[in-house]
Amino acid sequence: MPHNYYTGEMAEIKIDGKVHELPVIVGTEGEKAIDIRSLRAKSGYIAFDGGYANTGSCISNITYLDGESGILSYRGYDIAELAENCSFVEVAYLLDHGSLPTRTELNAFSQMLNDFAMVHEDMIRFFDSYPAKSPPMAILSSMVNSLCSFYPEMANNPLENIDKMSARLLSKVRTIAAFSYKKSMGHPVVYPRHDLSYCANFLNMMFDSPVRPYEINHKVVEALNKLLILHADHEQNCSTSTVRMVGSARVNLYASVSAGISALWGPLHGGANQAVMDMLASIHENGGDYRKYVERAKDPKDPFRLAGFGHRVYKTYDPRCRIIKQACDEVLADLKYSDPLLDLAKDLEEVALKDDYFIERNLYPNVDFYSGIIYRAMGIPTNMFTVMFALGRLPGWIAHWKEMWDDPAWRISRPRQIYVGPLSRPFVPIDQRG
């Protein structure tokens, strides 16, 4: 972690006629922040920022995001270059170790992923206890949390075996995700193979069958690899902040990631691509008149909104969306897969990119807009979309947990509040309450 982000510049804030000086922090990309940690001690005031949209909760060297310019980079590497040239395993190593691996380091890391791909046989019995219609994210969260019971190495010094823990999580979550799908279908589980790459192994565990062996399609593997890379980290989003907040209480990595999975489950976060598919399917089933839905989205009296447009941070085109859109076209062409929902998506995007209403409000397609169509073409059901998101985001969660735990300035996360409830009230015994 760099230590030269304090420039000596001071910001002044005037409260009750008194001027207070607060230090200014400047990041490597020029992002500026006012360090308000001493504000309450100096002035008696706290800052209010509902939703934390203007609050920096940590200093990090993992991911840089510029929403105004549409820039996303991991450890200084542009996201487009990583998606085009790297495997997901390389990017996972980059996020969790700080640098891209050498050939020797990549081989060693890949070997660890192979070694840890199996899950304890006792854990497999857990799947039998879930009702058939259990949400896959509920299964994933609870199964990840249970890992600390089977692999308790982190109990004493969590950072001592962090490389092993990272590889174990990355490998076992893939297996757990595939097993949860097989159990939901009532099919026998397919065990991981040592001769397949990370993404090919996952697809084989998902779709191989005793009656229909799965044929590895390299275009599909390549597209999945890109999708996971593009989802691998995204700064201090809801789930990543959750992992950091839970971990700040010195909670182990498994439980912290389990909490992150639960946060990702939300329809406004990881469930957004499922919402896009539901919207496109609804438009298609109701005649396919997408222009009518565009007009509905523009009507302030209509609660309908176009899913997959706009982003909390990006105020221009999501840089990940261009990559996913190209991958989507390539996969569908290779599979000779015709999808009316893709045609609808392209029509909606074309209209929105030319409409002043969307342009003025920075409502551009985001990463969720095309990812669901690729997953659909791969054969992945809608209720597994958020699981796929979690699989991709895992390296980022691990990196942030590790960075937070290793921070010498660590403090337990404890936001304050502005209380607006009733003033002091006299207690009334129960028999005297009207």
Does the annotation count 368 as an active-site position? yes
pTM score:
0.91
Cα separation of 204 and 197, whole Å? Answer: 10
Could you give the CA distance from residue 127 to residue 123 in angstroms, rounded to a whole number? 7
Catalytic residue among 368, 406, 407, 431: 368
- Residue 338's pLDDT is 83
Q: Do domains 6-71 and 79-411 have the same CATH topology?
A: no
CA dihedral 250, 397, 418, 425 (to 10 degrees): -60
* Superfamily of domain 79-411 in the CATH hierarchy: Citrate Synthase, domain 1 (1.10.580.10)
Show me where the domains of the chain are located: 6-71, 79-411
Whole-number pLDDT of residue 153: 67
pLDDT per residue as tens, the chain (434 positions): 445 788 889 999 999 999 999 999 999 888 899 999 999 999 999 999 999 989 999 999 999 999 888 899 999 999 999 999 999 999 999 999 999 999 999 999 999 999 999 999 998 888 888 887 888 999 999 999 999 888 876 666 667 778 888 999 999 999 999 998 998 888 999 999 999 999 999 999 999 999 999 999 999 999 999 999 999 999 999 999 999 999 999 999 999 999 999 999 988 888 888 888 889 999 999 999 999 999 999 999 999 988 888 887 887 888 898 899 899 889 989 998 888 888 898 888 888 888 899 888 888 888 888 888 899 889 999 889 999 999 999 999 999 999 999 898 899 999 999 999 999 999 999 999 98
Please provide the DSSP assignment of 249-282 as one string. Answer: TT--HHHHHHHHHHHHTSTTTTTHHHHHHHHHHH
pLDDT of residue 156: 65
At the top level of CATH, the class of 6-71 is mainly beta
pLDDT confidence of residue 368? 81
**Among residues 311, 318, 334, 356, which one is catalytic?**
311
Query: 97 an active-site residue?
Result: no
Question: Residue 397 CA to chain centroid, in angstroms?
Answer: 8
Q: CB of 364 within 8 A of CB of 308?
A: no
State whether the Cα torsion 66-169-146-157 is positive or negative.
negative
CA distances from 176 to 29, 135, 172, 192, 262 (A): 38, 13, 6, 11, 16
